């Protein structure tokens, strides 16, 4: 399938920020002729956006994992999906995590490894993602060489987990304000989504992080969140693990260059590890982050 990247980026950049009015009766507004539906896999909900539901041609697919304490619908709204055009050549999947133990019903989390709320829930989220993929493939043609994942915070931690456990599926994954692992609390065992000796294939990695992020510090250590005792590994540690696994050419520097993309390329199958550290970014994400990641992802095939 030939991908017109200009069409893709035009579709993303052209979307405007939406407020609560975009959600009516639990349905996110979208362009006529496109498909946005709530589906179930393994008894759990996910949102599927398809820009060309009538097509029989295989189309790339990207999983989008919300952060802890929010949900798929809110993530889809902030991703500015509502004005996605019929020319937008990428299926988007917004899965819902499980309810946070003792938390609000719509506050969902991922069992990504060392994140305490997800660990407490004990959900098999890797299996959930596999079930979603099978469910979509039963009704839509998927380009299996171009399956991607992005996630913010706890969702990015989930993306790291999938890159290791389902490297046979994902061509590239992106994380924003996330960590590859650590400890759920002091004294607990480390849980790390380390690809070395586990992942079956190389996976392209793109991690975006803010220098002013105090929930997941770029240098690792105890989170600044007063409600959590989680301890995270540093971004540089994640990079070195993936550099070694992908067999790319250079390890993480002592400090990443500010506000530009750092690359370690030339890995197995042409794989790369990319990092962008933003000077003034706190613990948040913007729709333009997804634009930048998708622009890169479309260079990557499994």
Give the pLDDT score at 1: 34
- Per residue in 232-284, pLDDT (tens digit) is 999 999 999 999 999 999 999 989 999 999 999 999 999 999 999 999 999 99
- Please say if the pLDDT value at position 119 is more than 80: yes
Q: Residue 206 — very low, low, confident or very high, per pLDDT cuts 50/70/90?
A: very high
Give the pLDDT score at 102: 77
Can you spell out the DSSP letters for 73-132?
Answer: HHHHHHTTGGG--TT---EEEEE--EEPTTS-TT-EE---SS-HHHHHHT--HHHHHHHH
pTM metric for this prediction: 0.89
**Closest residue by Cα to residue 270 from 155, 171, 185:** 171
- Please say if the pLDDT value at position 153 is more than 60: yes
Can you spell out the DSSP letters for 20-61?
Answer: GGGEETTEE---TT-EEEEEEETTEEEEEEES-TT--S-EEE
- Please say if the pLDDT value at position 29 is more than 80: no
- Per residue in 42-51, pLDDT (tens digit) is 999 999 998 8
Share of the chain above pLDDT 70, in %: 86
Rounded Cα distance, 21 and 23, in Å: 5
Structure tokens at 13: 């950049």
Can you spell out the DSSP letters for 232-269?
Answer: E--HHHHHHHHHHHHT-S-PPPSSPPBTSEEEE---GG
- Please say if the pLDDT value at position 94 is more than 90: yes
pLDDT higher for 13 or 63? 63
Backbone angles phi, psi at 63, to 5 degrees: -80, 135
**Closest residue by Cα to residue 119 from 94, 150, 98:** 98
Report the mean per-residue pLDDT for the chain: 87
- Per residue in 207-228, pLDDT (tens digit) is 999 999 999 999 999 999 998 9
Structure tokens at 268: 């197995």
Could you tell me which CATH number the domain at 31-297 has?
3.40.50.1820
| Domain layout of the chain by residue ranges | 31-297
Give the pLDDT score at 88: 55
Task: Find the range with the poorest average confidence among 24-38, 68-82, 197-211.
Answer: 24-38
Helices (H) and strands (E) in the chain, counts: 7, 17
- Please say if the pLDDT value at position 14 is more than 80: no
- Per residue in 125-152, pLDDT (tens digit) is 999 999 999 999 999 999 999 999 999 9
Structure tokens at 181: 């692992």
């Amino acid at each position: 399938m030939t991908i017109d990247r200009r069409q893709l980026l035009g579709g993303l950049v052209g979307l405007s920020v939406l407020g609560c009015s975009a959600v009516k009766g639990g349905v996110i507004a979208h362009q006529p002729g496109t498909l946005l539906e709530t589906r179930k896999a393994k008894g759990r909900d996910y949102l599927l956006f398809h820009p060309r539901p009538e097509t029989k041609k295989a189309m790339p697919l990207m999983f989008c994992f919300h952060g802890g304490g929010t949900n798929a619908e809110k993530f889809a709204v902030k991703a500015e999906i509502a004005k996605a055009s019929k020319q937008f050549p990428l299926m988007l999947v917004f899965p819902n995590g499980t309810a946070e133990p003792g938390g609000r019903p719509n506050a969902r989390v991922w069992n990504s490894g060392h994140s305490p709320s997800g660990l407490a829930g004990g959900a098999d989220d890797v299996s959930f993602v596999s079930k979603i993929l099978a469910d979509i493939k039963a009704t839509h043609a998927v380009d299996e060489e171009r399956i991607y994942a992005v996630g913010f915070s706890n969702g990015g931690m989930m993306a790291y987990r999938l890159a290791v456990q389902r490297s046979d599926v994902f061509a590239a994954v992106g994380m924003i304000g996330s960590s590859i692992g650590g400890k759920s609390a002091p004294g607990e065992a480390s849980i790390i989504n380390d690809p070395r000796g586990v992942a079956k294939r190389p996976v392209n990695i793109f991690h975006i992080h803010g220098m002013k992020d105090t929930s997941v510090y770029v240098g690792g250590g105890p989170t600044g969140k007063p409600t959590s005792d989680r301890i995270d590994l540093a971004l540089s540690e994640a990079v070195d693990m993936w550099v070694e696994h992908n067999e790319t050419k250079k390890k993480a520097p002592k400090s990443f260059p500010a506000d530009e993309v750092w690359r370690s390329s030339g890995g197995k199958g042409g794989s790369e590890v990319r990092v962008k550290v933003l000077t003034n970014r706190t613990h948040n994400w913007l729709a333009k982050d997804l634009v930048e990641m998708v622009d890169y992802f479309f260079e990557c095939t499994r």
